[in-house]
Amino acid sequence: MAGAMSTKPTPEGDRIAKVIARAGLASRREAERMIEEGRVAVNGRVIDRAALNVTDRDRIEVDGKPLDAPEAARIWLYHKPTGLVTTTKDEQGRPTIFDALPDDLPRVMSVGRLDLNSEGLLLLTNDGAVKRKLELPSTGWLRRYRVRVNGRPTDEMLAPLREGLTIDGQTFQPMTVAIDRQQGANAWLTVGLREGKNREVRRAMADIGLTVNRLIRLSYGPFQLGQMKPGEVQEVRGRIVRDQLGLPSPAQETTARPGPSGKAGKGKTGKPGPAKPRNVTRKRR
């Protein structure tokens, strides 16, 4: 009948690339490339397209090896030092954060990035969906920075940053900017913003005549740099990750998932609070 609504059922399960990403093996985009390269098989048949839904009844193999069950979403705090780029591979051959991360860390992705000369808090996660969620402007988490600029800024000079400005056709949302102290020819500022455009703080400061010569990210939403040393990694407690991201509790997850004995296992919970360090060994250089 003309004009009748489609009764085509919604496909069961999730897209294959999403399932691979949730297992912590690759990002969704990387998983799609693996599929295009013929490295993924479902139920014994190699697939060449990512537009395929799978369920837990399907047998998935990547490079001939069975895909592990999805890992619980995890987040780590990393004090990124200067001199490292936030990418898996740099075309110019510069060292990356992934070259410097501890060897005992599982495969992780960065949430956003800090440029070569910036330092401070960088979030890492094993979950592609968590990465995308935390990078979305709609998440609205405040990011705070300690910024050292060359010059003598005044409140009048900083007004455009607080009101929002447009640079080369790109609109920057209003920032919070406080002058902390003048130190010789330099001044220290605390800057807060809720979006993550490329080199946003540096470009905004340059637009009002100030040159940034040091930039340290102090926090990303509820997660704080605190007293972490450059290169240090701390894992956030599972309960805090679940509370902040609205993820199911271990009890909910294990109700339908038998433990090794065949009985539903009990999930461990930690007390809410600051990120708890785990025994992560720094990579030797």
Residues 134 and 42 in one domain: no
Q: Are residues 107 and 210 in the same domain?
A: yes
Identity (one letter) of the amino acid at 89?
K
Residue 283 in any domain: the answer is no
Q: Annotated catalytic residue: which of 58, 90, 99, 115?
A: 115
Of residues 128 and 156, more confidently modeled:
156
Dump pLDDT digits (tens) for 257-268. 333 333 333 333
User: Does 248 reside within a domain?
Assistant: no
Gap between the Cα atoms of 208 and 23, Å rounded: 46
Averaged over 250-263, what is the pLDDT? 39
**CATH code, domain carrying 191:** 3.30.2350.10
State residue 39's pLDDT score.
Answer: 95
**Is 82 exposed, middle or buried, given 0-12, 13-18 or 19+ CB atoms closer than 10 A?**
middle
- Which CATH number does the domain housing residue 30 bear? 3.10.290.10
Q: Is residue 54 a part of any domain in this protein?
A: yes
Helix (H) or strand (E) run with residue 17 in it = helix 16-22
C-alpha angle 229-230-231 in degrees, rounded to nearest 5:
110
How far is residue 48's CA from residue 238's CA, in Å, rounded to a whole number? 36
Last residue of a domain, one of 224, 241, 265: 224
Task: Answer yes or no: is 92 within a domain.
Answer: yes
Average pLDDT of the chain, as a whole number? 83
- First-to-last alpha carbon distance for the chain, in angstroms, is 70
Report pLDDT for 250.
55
The Cα 122–Cα 117 span in angstroms is: 13
Active site residue 103: no
In a domain, 183, yes or no: yes
The model scores a pTM over 0.75: no
Render pLDDT for 149-207 as a digit per residue (tens, 0 to 9). 999 999 999 999 999 999 999 999 999 999 999 999 999 999 999 988 889 999 999 99
Query: Which domain covers residue 35, as residue numbers?
Result: 14-66
Q: Cβ of 20: how many Cβ atoms within 10 Å?
A: 26
Q: Are residues 129 and 59 in the same domain?
A: no
Within-domain flag for 261: no
Q: Are residues 50 and 188 in the same domain?
A: no
Q: Are residues 115 and 49 in the same domain?
A: no
Query: Which range, of 165-179, 213-227, 237-251, averages the lowest pLDDT?
Result: 237-251
Are 28 and 156 found together in one domain?
no
Number of domains in the chain: 2
Domain identity same for 121 and 187: yes
In this structure, the answer to whether residues 211 and 135 fall within a common structural domain is yes
